[in-house]
Chain A
Amino acid sequence: MSIDFTMVDRTLLVTLEGEIDHHTCVEIRQTVDREYQKRRAKNLLFDFANINFMDSSGIGMLMGRYRSVAICGGEIGLYNVSPEAWRILSLSGIHKLMKTYSSKQEAIEALA
């Protein structure tokens, strides 16, 4: 799992590469929370372009981030979501809590 961060205004962009499961969620959770606090970000955006697998552990991880971002008055979103990842997002109902955008540009503009 590789995790990269970019800051655009008060939105933290998280680019994930690899597979999201119970094992990798530990690292994602810790790293994202640390960067989110350190950079005093408000919104959180996940780039899913290079996620080639996600199970329900990823849903738990996203729900947890949703809570902490909501407390800070921010919004959370996803972009470049594959049809496979979309299936578990819609199955869990979490897609009603966070928007999915078709591109990075669209996501950034929506949260600006």
Chain B
Amino acid sequence: MRTLFNKVLLDIAGKDPRIWMILADIGYGEIEPFRDAFPDRWYNCGVAEQNMTGVACGVAMEGNIAITYSIANFPTLRCLEQIRNDVCYHNANVKIVIIGGGLAYGPLGVSHQATEDIAIMRALPNMVVFCPCDFAEAEAGVHAMIAHDGPFYYRCGYKKEPPVHSGKIDFQLGKAIRVREGADATIFFTGTIGNQAAAAAELLERDGIRCRVESLHTVKPIDRAAIVAAARETGGIITVEEHQLAGGLGGAVAEVLCDEGVVPQRFLRLGLPDCYVSRVGTHPWLLDQYGLVAPKLAVRIKEYLRQPVAGASV
């Protein structure tokens, strides 16, 4: 997905001279085409994410679109105050792109696992939070990101994520995309964990459980209508995210339900528990450990749906 991201961005930058890339010494093997095509709009700040973000803000405030780009938590947590005070407070046209959301960089260790980013980014006023699940959303999302005037957080995948959507998608920022029809429950997901969630729904259907599946690629602003409709029209809501349960997609969905006074028949949040991993693990191994692979998701959802009433998160 990162390769696709860079390719699409390069195409757009060829037509839009406002686009700059401001880096912090990360992106080897991916960012060179932009550097070679637009050397006067490409700057490597060195290993200095605070300066990267401040510089991007200054560049953006002069009428440009500045993209900061790095892996996992580097362009977000290290420079969070620059994102808040400089970018968001001034509503500057800065796009913060991370490569490898969630556990994608698993074996590199906890420092490289972006597992609280959605919660933190969505708490910032003026910030859009976008997590594409597959190449189709990723590509549409780059265009939406550039078209949007203001801060934007783009949680990019790392490798060749399989497609979740089949065919052309009807993409609109802030609008959920239906992946599968069903009424027994609605599974909402965000980001690249979507292929596990969609595959889980397929497994469930073999057992006669038909779930509506929707991609909430935009966690902020979130599609309130889709959430309310899911609560009213289906047998419950299940959220799946590759992120801490605290403050992530499940929390965002719960906020909408509470605000709207809509009580779903059931509500289950599936994501990462309140801890850090202590063992080495590849991305698939870690997802398996946390029960976020399709077969385990299917079992958890099936067992949960057997219960007669709404329960707590697990």
Instruction: Say whether A associates with B.
Output: no
